[in-house]
Amino acid sequence: MSNEFLRYDAVVIGSGQGGNPLSVALAKRGERVALIESNQLGGTCINTGCTPTKTMIASAQIAYYARNADRWGIRANFAEVDMQTVIRRKQERVEAGRKGWEESVDGENEPHLFRNRARFIGPKQLAVGEQRLQSERVFIDTGSTPAIPAITGLETVPYLTNVTIMELEEVPPHLLVLGGGYVGLEFSQMYRRFGSEVTVLQRSKQILPEEDEDIATELNKVFEAEGIRIHLGAAVTKVEGSRGEITLTLGNGQQTVTGSHLLVATGRTPQTKDLDLAKTGVKVDQRGYVVVNDRLETSAPGIWALGDVNGGPAFTHISYNDYQIVYGNLYEGKSLSTQTRLVPYAVFTDPPLGRVGMSEKKARAQGRKLKLGKVPMTRVSRALEKAETAGLMKLVVDAETDKVLGAAILGSSGDEVVQILSTLLLADQPYTLLKGAIYIHPTMAEGLFTLMESVKPV
């Protein structure tokens, strides 16, 4: 390793949806920027997250429509799913997204890319392969990886993660899914539609444990109607077997479930272990996430952490907003904070769940007086016309101010429609503003009129 330091104005570790745009923006300012990436450019979103999963979900939805075409009065001869073509289509989308970032490095006024692992050797000094780098500003955007639970025997079986399952070129005969959160549910429905038998094992008493019970129950019904078996309160205590026959033991051993493949979808863990953060003064919490303040500054001066690695909401759009906060505060004279941002998100099941703001149970936990609005999708004309009536719309309102505290839309286009309510929250206006709005007929958004009319004190 060279003893001479390469000096930069800024070093960005990790090319996720926070680090990539930050490094490019700084380089365009004329700063000398190093971007360090040990894997593929684009981070989780492009390579193993949003882009590939939503591409495959679209293929699975076409398979579902073909199988169920008679529901819309269409006679279709359904052919078998060609997983090799599905995987190839997915990979083409990934490579196209990655290419865009690859074209934005190593040119004039562009970040200098180092393809290697980074570790700190001092407060603002890094070893990257045989090179040593130094900078007054360092930005950590190393993301997260699948968290693997400590279950007896799990390490002895060929389990899948959200990354490896997307490389399968065959449809698993019977997919066991450990975890009923966002990742587990999206893959469960996807592979059921590809043709797998699917069993979900969820440790808590409901899927999507952070959501309100009525929302989780409704989505549970959707899954069961598609033939997905869901075991709630299922604590897996032992795993054994090999691919083709993997057996999970539940609880005290009185019940077992056997399938051909096992997907572990039990959360994420931050990629901080190999960074040698102890040499910097950067603090991490008990789970290994970098501790930051509301401006994303770490406990070490001159070091910031963006994206999943800082333990904030694990969504791509939040990683990008982390970049906006850091860049705005450092270079645009703004005073941006994570404490005041509004976080909309979606679970990309079918129907999708769009969510913004507080759930009912969180609002009740704060002791607020509430008004609630709730309507089934069967009362939305466009949903009836599309024959996609599963789900419901729900609004949580502060009874004293009529301001919207939160909303959930589980229904066709719920991921899109909820953003109208997100705008209402950003504008800090009462729900009654939309009560008097004119909606295009027939649209899914028109259901908001009925939702506003249903709001009542509780």
Residues 278-331: tens digit of each pLDDT:
999 999 999 999 999 999 999 999 999 999 999 999 999 999 999 999 999 999
In the structure encoding, which two tokens stand for residue 205, read together? 């008493």
Q: At 429, is the secondary structure helix, strand, or coil?
A: coil
Same domain, 181 and 287: no
Residue 330: what pLDDT?
A: 97
317 is catalytic: no
User: Is residue 94 domain-resident?
Assistant: no
Write the pLDDT tens digit of every residue in 27-47.
999 999 999 999 999 999 999
Nearest to 305 by CA among 315, 317, 292: 292
CATH number at residue 407: 3.30.390.30
Structure-block tokens of residue 239:
């795993």
Q: How many CA atoms lie within 13 A of 70 on its CB side?
A: 4
Last residue of a domain, one of 221, 241, 266: 266
415: domain range? 345-457
Element (H, E) at 201: strand 197-202
Half-sphere exposure in the Cβ direction for 54 (13 Å, CA): 13
Q: Taking a C-beta distance cutoff of 8 angstroms, is the pair 119, 274 a contact?
A: yes
Residue with tokens 């990742």: 183
- Domain assignment of residue 73, yes or no: no
- Residue of 112, 231, 317, 441 marked catalytic: 441
Please give the Cα distance from 251 to 66 (Å, whole number).
39
Same domain (yes/no): 130, 276: yes
Strand order across the beta sheet in which 33-36 lies: 112-114, 33-36, 10-13, 138-140, 303-305
pLDDT confidence of residue 3: 73
Contact 282, 290 (CB under 8 A): yes
The CA radius of gyration of the chain, in Å to the nearest whole number, is 24
Query: Does residue 208 share a domain with residue 120?
Result: no
We report the CATH number of the domain holding residue 167 as: 3.50.50.60
Q: Are residues 291 and 415 in the same domain?
A: no
Residue 160 resides in a domain: yes
157 and 241 in contact (C-beta within 8 Å)? yes
Q: Are residues 257 and 294 in the same domain?
A: no
Of 298, 318, 340, the domain-final residue:
340
Same domain, 208 and 286: no
Strand pairing report for 138-140 and 303-305: parallel
Verify that 133 and 18 share a domain, yes or no. Answer: yes
d(CA 124, CA 453): 57
Task: In whole angstroms, give the CA distance from residue 53 to residue 210.
Answer: 22
Q: Does residue 160 sit in the same domain as residue 282?
A: no
User: What CA–CA distance (Å, rounded) separates 440 from 314?
Assistant: 34
Residues 353 and 412 in one domain: yes
User: What's the pLDDT at 124?
Assistant: 93
Domain co-membership, 383 together with 306: no
Count of Cβ atoms closer than 10 Å to residue 235 Cβ = 14
Q: Which segments of the chain have a pLDDT < 50?
A: none
Residue 78 maps to a domain: no
User: Is 171 in the same domain as 275?
Assistant: no
Q: Is residue 90 part of a domain?
A: no
Asked if 260 and 174 touch (Cβ cutoff 8 Å), the reply is yes
Please indicate, yes or no, whether residues 159 and 251 belong to a single structural domain of this protein. Answer: yes
Q: CA 279, CA 270: separation in Å to the nearest integer?
A: 18
Task: Note the pLDDT of residue 319.
Answer: 97
Phi, psi of 356 (to 5 degrees): -150, 145
Q: Which of 214, 241, 266 is the last residue of a domain?
A: 266
Domain tally for the chain?
3
Residue 253 lies in a domain: yes
The answer to whether residue 227 is domain-embedded is yes
